[in-house]
A = this chain, B = another copy of it.
Amino acid sequence: MPSEKTLPQIFKYVDENVESYKNLLKEAVAIPSVSCDAKYRDDCVRMVQWTKDKLKEVGATTELRDVGFQNIDGKEIKLPPVLVGTLGNDPKKNTICIYGHLDVQPALKSDGWESEPFELVERNGKLYGRGSTDDKGPVLGWLHAINAYKGVGEELPVNLKFIFECMEESGSEGLDELLMDKLKPEGFFDSVDYVCISDNYWLGTTKPCITYGLRGISYYFLEVECAKMDLHSGVYGGTVHEAMSDLIYLMNTLVDKDGKILITDVYKSVAPLTENEKKLYDTIDFDPEAYRKSIEAHKLAHNGVKEQLLMHRWRYPSLSLHGIEGAAFQPGAKTVIPGKVIGKFSMRLVPDQEPAEIEKLVFDFVHKKWAERGSPNKMRIWAQSGRAWTENPDHPHYQAAARATKLIYQTDPDMSREGGSIPVTITLQEASNKNVLLLPMGAGDDMAHSQNEKLNVRNYIEGIKLFATYLMEVGKLAK
């Protein structure tokens, strides 16, 4: 069994293997496992296979679970399989279920990357590449932590279960059904004591945190069609009711310039702010000016007031307009009248907004605005949603993770919430009925989903040590 000396040995082992950790991350980043574009579906499958091989190397038993098909424009496209694994089944040990995702957001060098997005490059102690921090770095972090126990000849202090999917950036299609209708009835979760997910970030760039709350998301597809095909604006301009102007009109009704959502009653179900919660924001380490500078915004919302910014990231809903599918998007002067356009927008949901209720409010509002427009075109709106999530940060599982974090970073982590959404968090909570914890590896300026996504070498390497220590601390919790 691990002794007092195990962790120092592991830390030394990790420090000696930095190059191989970087090389493995380079290999993973080189597989463009973009899940939102069926063109990259083979790369997604390849990424799952690659990870399966690595998981087997650390001694886990693995299986690839088929999760069926995805419907894109009426075509059935096979979903990448979900990688499910098990390592250890000692009834005296605690069992942690670890979730991570292997897919990434799209990225093109021409979007403004300084180097090729799918080629991991180190500059100034940062590892740049799509997926470096979201979520390939953290997934590899777990494998390296396990491997480090092997490397120093110690057995793992816990049993582990793994769920690695490759559709997270595209609504985790097929995963809920796998977890609730297959793995749960099969008993996969019976032995699970804790659930841990590393797929988020520190609040800032220096102080670690542990995350006990996430916003949900309600993602909308708003389609307007004026013709069966795209039209030449010279030939047809002036003779058709154009779908684009209808869509732009609808998208303009949703949110005001200060980010206030204009959809009727959408704030009504938001949990009221208690005095206790209000106080929590005072002590959080967050510098609005540094935040503003990091993105070079001209001015932040809410006049840049710290508490307001945090509350609007964590506990109030926000609405973003993402773009338009079917319209001209290339550089240059394309003179098209798009025949069918799909506007994309989403709302981040907070306690106690119920997705079904919010969807209804949005649908009703959009249909009302559409009726006011009086256009002869066809309009259709649909959504995919996941509820917000919170845990109690005083739970022993959180205290164990806090001790591990303090050992690595010599400071107490902030107990934070996040503006982002990881819908699987709730499903895993429901499937396991156990405490779920988010243990971030990356820093707040990692630019997940953006150009020049990166993972600091320090966060990667200390993150591996953090994961190893977390396994140790959870191993010590009463069974």
Residue of chain B at shortest CB distance from A171: B333
Residues 411-434 of A at the B interface (beta carbon under 8 Å): 418-421
Any chain B CB within 8 A of the CB of A435? no
A317-338 residues with Cβ-Cβ distance < 8 A to B are 317-325, 327-338
Kindly state the separation between the CA atoms of A37 and B442 in the bound complex, as whole angstroms: 35
User: What CA separation (Å) do A334 and B338 show in the bound complex?
Assistant: 20
Residues A376 and B298 in contact, CB atoms below 8 Å apart: yes
Partner of A449, one of B232, B241, B346, B419: B232
Q: Are A229 and B346 in contact (CB under 8 A)?
A: no
Give the CA-CA distance A164 to B46 in the complex, in Å: 46
Is residue A371 contacting chain B, with contact meaning CB distance below 8 A? no
Within 8 A of B (CB), among A1-60: 35-38
Find out whether the CB atom of B321 lies under 8 angstroms from the CB atom of A333: no
Whole-angstrom distance from the CB of A382 to the nearest CB of chain B?
11
- The minimal Cβ–Cβ distance linking A403 to chain B, given in whole angstroms, is 27
Pick the contact of A325: B309, B331, B377, B447 (CB < 8 A).
Answer: B331
Quick check: which of A80-88, A148-156, A299-307 contacts chain B, the rest being far away? Answer: A299-307
CB neighbours (8 Å) of A112 from chain B are: 229
Instruction: List chain B residues, Cβ under 8 A from A375.
Output: 257
Q: Are B335 and A346 in contact (CB under 8 A)?
A: yes
Question: Which residues from B are CB-within-8-Å of A323?
Answer: 244, 324, 327-329, 334, 336, 338
Complex: A133 Cα to B451 Cα, angstroms? 39
User: How far apart are the CA atoms of A22 and B242 in the complex, in Å?
Assistant: 35
Q: Is A374 an interface residue (CB 8 A)?
A: yes
B297 near A240: Cβ-Cβ < 8 Å: yes
Interface assignment of A245: CB less than 8 Å from any CB of chain B? yes
Is A312 in contact with chain B by the CB < 8 A criterion? yes
Q: Are A237 and B318 in contact (CB under 8 A)?
A: yes
Complex Cα gap A448–B384 (Å): 36
The reply to whether B239 and A448 form a contact with Cβ atoms under 8 Å apart is: no
Cβ contact within 8 Å between A450 and B333: no
Q: How many chain A residues touch B (Cβ–Cβ < 8 Å)? A: 104
A256 to chain B, nearest CB (A): 8
Other-chain contact of A335, B219, B313, B373 (Cβ < 8 Å)? B219
Q: Among the listed B37, B233, B373, which residue makes an inter-chain contact with A346, where contact means beta carbons less than 8 Å apart? A: B233
Q: How far is the CA of A392 from the CA of B302 in the complex (A)?
A: 62
CA A228 to CA B293, docked complex, whole Å = 10
Q: Which of A72, A111, A239, A258 has most B Cβ within 10 Å?
A: A239
Cβ-closest chain B residue relative to A378? B298
- In the complex, whether A90 has a CB less than 8 A from a CB of chain B is no
Residues in B with CB closer than 8 Å to A346 are 233, 333, 335
Report how far A317 CA is from B321 CA in the complex, Å: 30
| A348 on the B face (CB < 8 A) | yes
Residues of B within 8 A of A235 (CB): 201, 313, 418-420, 444, 448
A228, A344, A373: residue with the most chain B Cβ atoms closer than 10 Å? A344
Interface positions, chain A 59-96, Cβ under 8 Å from B, are 72-73
Q: How far is the CA of A295 from the CA of B236 in the complex (A)?
A: 10
Q: Within 8 Å of chain B (Cβ to Cβ): is A178? A: no
9 pairs, A vs B, C-beta closer than 8 Å: A169-B334, A229-B296, A229-B452, A235-B444, A238-B259, A240-B259, A245-B255, A334-B344, A339-B450
User: 8 closest pairs, A vs B, by CB?
Assistant: A234-B420, A323-B328, A323-B327, A36-B332, A238-B318, A238-B312, A329-B329, A237-B318
